[in-house]
Chains A and B, each alone.
Chain A
Amino acid sequence: MNKTLILRFRDLITEDDGTINDHLNMIYNYGEVWWGWWMKQHEIPPRNLFIDVFNELEKSGLINIYLFNSGLNKIYKAKTVKILVAPQGNTIRTPDFEKSPSYYHRGSYPAWFLMNGIEEIEFANTNFTIVSTPTKTFKGDFDLPKNIETLEELQNMNVTLWEIATP
């Protein structure tokens, strides 16, 4: 079992699929792109989980993180090579303006992931188990660990980040 993350997003500012297309354009042009993780107001950044990601990246140089478009119910695999985390209680602007889509530029986010590949995957071919929802400050209405049967299940959970196990 490998542990990794799913990050939630929606095409709120762009047209449908615009978020992923903008990131793919950056990868095409620069070889990599920064993904800003946006969280809901009630969430807290999972510092310990990010430390695990840091350690894993130091060991293996690359991990797969999953991106879930909750508006279109699509899921993507993103090859991630670096992560930067804002100091406790803070948010940071993009580490590299050139390598991040322009809609990020005015905003400030709790963590940034540097990715060099993003591809859509068939949910039916995955077998994800939610290990924790570490951004939550309250107990959820489901028991963990939990197998994800459908993407609607993720959609209905009021969080933007899941710690998952993959086979």
Chain B
Amino acid sequence: MVNLQSKLFTSLTADIDKYLTNSDLKPWKNSLRSNSYAEGFLALLSHKDINIIMTAQGYNTFNEWLFDVDNWSQKLLDPRNEYGKGAMVLYELWDVFRNNIMDAIRTARLHTNIPNRGGILAFVGGLSKCIVIEYLITSDYPRFTIIDVIDNPQSAFDFWGTISNAAMAAKNVLKEIISTGHKIILHRGILMHVDRRKDFQVFGPSVDTILLAEIQAQLFYENNLSKKRVLEIGCGNGLLSVSVAKYMVALNKIHSIDVNFHSIFCLYNNLSINITQHLLKKLDIYLTYGEFSNKFPNEKFDLIICNPPYIPNEPTVPEYLNKKVDYYQAVGGTELIAEILNNLDNLLSDDGELLLLVSNLSLDYTLNLIPYNYNYKLILENGHKVLFDVEAVLKKESWLNFLLTECDLIEENNLFYHNIYPILIKK
């Protein structure tokens, strides 16, 4: 569970405490409803009384409650029933979540070609849960069903892992969802849509991107820290840029750049889904298709975000190929990391910050490149363990061996893992 104990988290937890000792739940409700990035699930799942709250409702675990939430809420709406400790916290949480999903699908429908029946992966609770949802649009408002809950998802493609463990009915639904070619992810009130049939080679949203989005939310939005000028290098599907545009209150300008034209188009679509026309008009938004290559000689940013390629290439790979693979497949190579770190003075304003995500495979390399006049902070000291499922590497035995022997790639039960590290770099 990613939990940086932000200001908002602390206040949401304090509100639950007060409510459980018979105080009003209004402040909690207001916080949840007025900020769509607010994450009640995180406050609940981290709460010391979570087991007491679940037991009081007759459930052993949070997941058990979530699977039965429709029946549970019907009982709650029968005025003859007494409800146990924490029922209103759960009800509020469910209501906000349900409404967010419905609103997100409705808006997405207006701006993209999402299918009438499909699946959503909703990441909640500081990435401790991935809720797999099937939706069906028959009228203005969609109906939806919870198919599965994946604990501590280690890959944004955990659909496949889910299929093998799911019950037969859920298995079929999941297969149908995958076959649509649409990838829909919900994270902190933002719905991201990638149509795999036309968004060619658009990166993500991978678990890396979602982790960075979670860090962004906890670090900046939940602590009321805002930046005016933001640059995202290698925006891929655009989750990080969309989140900044939607939630950074003092933002004037965001510049997103990617080498893949389809990524830029995908980001444009996702901005339309998530950001109101009014806000879009207010912001300076630049979407650039092309290589980064220090394109901004006269411009400085208060925040740069980047989820770069971070898998070291084999030493035998020629340098020109290294760079090409790095840029155009968003897979191997560490050139972009070096390019950004070498240009920090040109890119960052005096109190500007770089939020960078690398892997333990390239952590030492990255830290060694940080200029002497900059400090860094590993936001998650031990990193975040995720599945290493990069096909290009898995297909090339010599590269895989190099990462296992030289770069500490982790092998467990015939699967590979690595730790990803968000790093904050500033003067």
Q: Does A136 contact B (CB under 8 A)?
A: no
Whether the pair A92, B95 counts as a contact (CB closer than 8 A) is yes
A95 to B87 CA separation, bound complex (whole angstroms)? 18
Whether the pair A105, B140 counts as a contact (CB closer than 8 A) is yes
A105 to B142 CA separation, bound complex (whole angstroms)? 12
Whether the pair B102, A90 counts as a contact (CB closer than 8 A) is no
7 tightest CB-CB pairs across the interface, nearest first? Answer: A97-B141, A84-B77, A85-B79, A98-B139, A50-B79, A51-B79, A51-B80
Count, chain B residues at interface, CB 8 A = 18
The answer, among B74, B87, B102, B139, for a CB contact under 8 Å with A87, is: B87
Whether the pair A98, B80 counts as a contact (CB closer than 8 A) is no
Whether the pair A54, B78 counts as a contact (CB closer than 8 A) is yes
21 pairs, A vs B, C-beta closer than 8 Å? A47-B79, A50-B79, A51-B79, A51-B80, A54-B80, A55-B80, A84-B74, A84-B77, A85-B77, A85-B78, A85-B79, A87-B87, A87-B88, A87-B91, A90-B88, A90-B91, A93-B95, A97-B102, A97-B139, A98-B139, A98-B141
Enumerate B99-115 residues with CB–CB distance to A below 8 Å. 99, 102
Closest-by-CB residue of A relative to B91 is A87
Enumerate A72-121 residues with CB–CB distance to B below 8 Å. 84-87, 90, 92-93, 95, 97-98, 102, 105
Whether the pair B138, A98 counts as a contact (CB closer than 8 A) is yes
Count, chain A residues at interface, CB 8 A = 17
B142 CB, nearest partner CB in chain A, Å: 9
Tell whether A92 pairs with B80 under 8 Å between CB atoms, given A97-B140, A105-B141. Answer: no
Residues of B within 8 A of A55 (CB): 80
Closest-by-CB residue of B relative to A50 is B79
Residues of B within 8 A of A86 (CB): 77
Whether the pair A102, B140 counts as a contact (CB closer than 8 A) is yes
Residues of B within 8 A of A51 (CB): 79-80
A8 CB, nearest partner CB in chain B, Å: 20
Whether the pair B76, A87 counts as a contact (CB closer than 8 A) is yes
